[in-house]
Structure formats: C-alpha cells, structure tokens
Amino acid sequence: MLHLWPQLPGEGGDKYEGAEKLLGPLRAQNFANPAPDKTVGHDHFDVAIVGGGIVGLATARELLKRYPEITVAVLEKEPEVAGQQTGHNSGVIHAGLYYEPGSTMAYTCVRGADLMYAYCEEHKLPVQRCGKLVVACNPEEHKQVEKLYRQGTANGVKGLEIIDSKQITELEPNVKAYSALYSPNTGIVNYWLVGQSLADEIRKSGRGDIKTSFEAKKFEKTKEGKVRITGGEKIMDGPRLQVTANKVITCAGLYSDRVAGLTGGNPRKHKVVTFRGTYYQLKPEYRTLIKHNIYPVPSGGGIPVGVHFTPTVDVRRGHQAIIGPGACITFSREGYRFFDFKLKDVWDNLMNGAFWAFALKNFNLSLGELYRDLNQAAFLSSAQKYIPCITGDMVEPSFAGVMAQVFESGGIAAKDFIFERKVMDGSILNVRNAPSPACTAALAIGELIADTAKEDWNWK
C-alpha cells in the first residue's frame, strides 16, 4: 500500500487509513480548475453557513445529523475549506485549563476535547494524547501553576497533577523548571485534516453542499422572507453567484465582524484584531528533544502569547516539533508575513479604541511581540528560559498562522465565544468571536450553535 502519510514512530501503517482516503482524492484534485458543479447559478438551502473553517463545518455536520430532512450549504471564500486559522495553528487538543469556570469556553473545550479524540479515532485520523507540561521557572510563576490546577479541576479536566523539578526531569530531561502542571489529557491533531474529513461527511450526506471560492459579499431579505446571499470568487467582481436560504449562520473567522456587518449585525461591536503567530521548528535531528507539549505559564493580557513547544501530527508540513507562536499585530487581516499590508485593515485597527486600550495597557508586550516576530534570537530566548540547551542552529523557520481576537471596551480580550443572535428579522446567527480553543471545542461549539438555532428559529 502506498503511504502518503509519514508514519509516526511505533504506529502501524493502516492506523490512519481515514487520512489516506481523504488525502488521495484531495491531492489528485486540481483546485485551480474545479469541475463545474452546483455552485454555478442559483441554489436554495434550508441553512447556509458562511465560512468553511472548523466552526462552520462542525456546525453544518451537527445540523445535518440532528435534522434528517434539511439541506445545508457551506460557503467558503477560499478554494479549499479549513485554509485560514483552522489550517494554521499549533494543532493542540487543549484539555481546558485556561478558561473561566462556568464559561462557554470551559464547557465546550472539555467536552470538545473528548469529542475530538473520539472523532479522530472513529475516522482514523492521526491524533496523540501526548500530554502537556505548563512550566513555572520560579516560585512566583508557581502561583500561576496552582491557579491553573484549581481552574482546570473546576472545569472538569481529568488527571491534573502538580509536579516538582525532579519529576519534570524524569518526564522531560531537557526541561529545567521549578514546577509544572502536568495535563495527561492534552493532545495533538491535524485540524486541517479534521476540516477535510468534516467536509467529506457533509458532501456524502447527500443534503450538504460545500461551495468553495464563494465569498459572501451581500445579504438581503427576499419578498418570500428568505435570505439571498450574493458572492463569488474573492478576486472577481462578477458574474455573481447566488444562494438563498431560510436561515443563515456566519462563522467567518478573521472577517467575522465584517461579515456580521453585511448581515445587519452591529458593525461597531466585537471588532476583530488579528495577530500573527510565527513558528519555528526543531530540525529533524532534534525533533525528539521534547515528547510532551511544553508551555510557559500564561501571560499577555488575555491573548495567547508564550512560546511553547508542540510535537505535531501534521501531514502537510511533515511531523515536526514546532516552537511558537508569538502574537504580533498584523497590518493585514491575512498578514501571514510581517510586511503584508492592507490600508483598510490598518485603518480598522487605528479606529478601534478597544485595541488601543489593550496595546497601551500592554505596551511592553506589544513592542516585545513585534520585535520577537522579526528576531529569531529574541524568539529563542523565551524558549531557552525553560529548555536551556536549545540553540539557534537546532531550529529552522516553519509556518505562520493569523488569529482573530475581539477586544471589548477597556482593552480586554473577550474571554468567551460570542454569538450575535436574531439578526435580519431573526433569520441570521453570527459567530462573532471564536479564538483558541475553538478548534479543540469545534464539535461542542457545533452542538451549541445547533441548540441556539433551535431556540431562535423555533425548530422542533
């Protein structure tokens, strides 16, 4: 059997049969010249979901599962699904340590992690429960380890343990730290591949359609009370494609505020700010330097900064141990590189009072992240704090991801997922904030959105 998949150490070759099946046709597919399909012309669906990231896809799958009669379309502006945040991240299945007890994030992360492990096992996608250490380098940081322990336990995270420096060395000989929180239920997965698998399920349901290269640009109510969505390929002004739907859910990630604005949602609230997370990776000969996810204690005014180490099971990039990401403000919503620049996007940030409040309150952090994004030595020195043996010649550049974060007034990073309900006379539900751990939580977010839709739309 031909294996597109580099095997993980100690894994049998057929374990990732599900991934092989998905990747074969995907690799054969010519995305530049897709075969004409139902995206040409006008179509009607019970529900249209705007955004083919993991949140939109998980929601579409959940609706199709719950309601055996309905039809669902996913509209995605890129030529493939899961190409933005979902395809450019650390690939960590978070256990649920960081989120306020009682929050939607805490609930969906813990439940979503269980669902994600089960999904990958059922669909034979690569996943590893590799465990994680959140390390404290001194007694001051140890207080944060204790706080995370209490918080995680309150959130229902199983198996948490605070360990000392000797126990750390037994688990990870190269890590030097004062203490650590050990989380055995944290794992790694390839979310891009999970996205492809969800899309595959949606297509195979016979009631779901994925319309790629369809950027939703206009939402309007028809005389019959339906929502007409007009769009097309993102770099094209015409001719236009149209879809109508009884109900619409938007899950537009980096553009969630703008798409919500197009639907009639509040354009001034929940503005998105985007941050680039740049990764390095250990060169292949050093990949075994760490076995677990190794994280510093959290810092950063509520945005996920703190250079961490993560082994990966990512097929496209080869199995790596990645180091990162930082969190550097971008000058373009899709600013995967430092010099990517779009005037409209910079203007939006300049006009965003909540973001300014954050940047001023966290001035050193903001400058430090800008500097670290450009300077490998500065980046590495954060990592050397707890893995002192790591040197510049052991690492090489890897990829970057761009994350969306909403800031509330006063410069506080929104701490929970945000839904904007009953927009356009009750026909539209907008997901306004879905930052990390939205990949971990995606299947549980899908359930929650389906519950919300049922309530808002009086579905049986």
The CB density around residue 137, as the number of other CB atoms within 10 Å, is 16
Residue closer to ligand FAD, measured from CB, 210 or 439: 439
Based on CB atoms, which residue is closest to ligand FAD, 179 or 297? Answer: 297
Supply φ then ψ for residue 116, to 5 degrees: -65, -45
Binding to ligand FAD by residue 255, rule CB under 6 A?
yes
Cβ-proximal residue to ligand FAD, closest one: 53
DSSP secondary structure letters along 52-101: -SHHHHHHHHHHHHH-TT--EEEE-SSSSTT-SGGGSS--EE--S-SS-T
By CB under 6 A, is residue 62 in contact with ligand FAD? Answer: no
In 3-state terms, what secondary structure has residue 197? helix
| Shortest separation between residue 12's beta carbon and ligand FAD, angstroms | 26
Angle (CA) 245-200-68 rounded to 5° is: 50
By C-beta, is 20 or 189 nearer to ligand FAD?
Answer: 189
Query: Cα(71)–Cα(458) distance, rounded to whole angstroms?
Result: 17
Q: By rule CB under 6 A, what string of x and - marks binding of each residue 428-457 to ligand FAD? A: ------xxxxxxx-----------------
How far, in Å, CA of 326 to CA of 401, rounded? 10
Question: Which of 18, 126, 296, 401 is the binder for ligand FAD (CB under 6 A)?
Answer: 401
User: For ligand FAD, which residue of 16, 61, 73, 84 counts as binding (CB under 6 A)?
Assistant: 84
273 binds ligand FAD (CB under 6 A): no
| Of the residues 325, 335, 411, 446, which one makes contact with ligand FAD according to CB under 6 A | 325
Contacting residue, 79, 83, 101, 156, with ligand FAD by CB under 6 A: 83
Select from 73-81, 156-164, 202-210, 337-345 the region that touches ligand FAD (CB under 6 A): 73-81
Q: Contact 301/358 with Cβ under 8 angstroms?
A: yes
Stated as kind and residue range, the H or E segment containing 352 is: none
Please tell me whether residue 28 adopts helix, strand or coil conformation.
helix
Which of 221, 202, 224, 222 lies closest to 212, judged by CA?
202
**Phi, psi dihedrals of residue 72, rounded to the nearest 5°:** -135, 135
For ligand FAD, the binding residue among 5, 64, 67, 78 (CB under 6 A) is 78
- If binding is defined by CB under 6 A, does position 89 make contact with ligand FAD? yes
Q: Is 75 in the site for ligand FAD (CB under 6 A)?
A: yes
Q: Are 407 and 359 in contact (CB under 8 A)?
A: no
Per the DSSP assignment, residues forming a β-bridge with 45 are: 245
The residue within the footprint of ligand FAD, chosen from 20, 62, 200, 215 (CB under 6 A), is: 215
How far is residue 425's CA from residue 219's CA, in Å, rounded to a whole number?
12
398 belongs to the binding site for ligand FAD (CB under 6 A) = no
Our CB check for ligand FAD shows the closer of 259 and 428 to be 259
Residue ranges binding ligand FAD (CB under 6 A): 50-56, 75-78, 83-86, 88-92, 94, 215-216, 251-255, 259, 277, 325, 401-403, 434-440
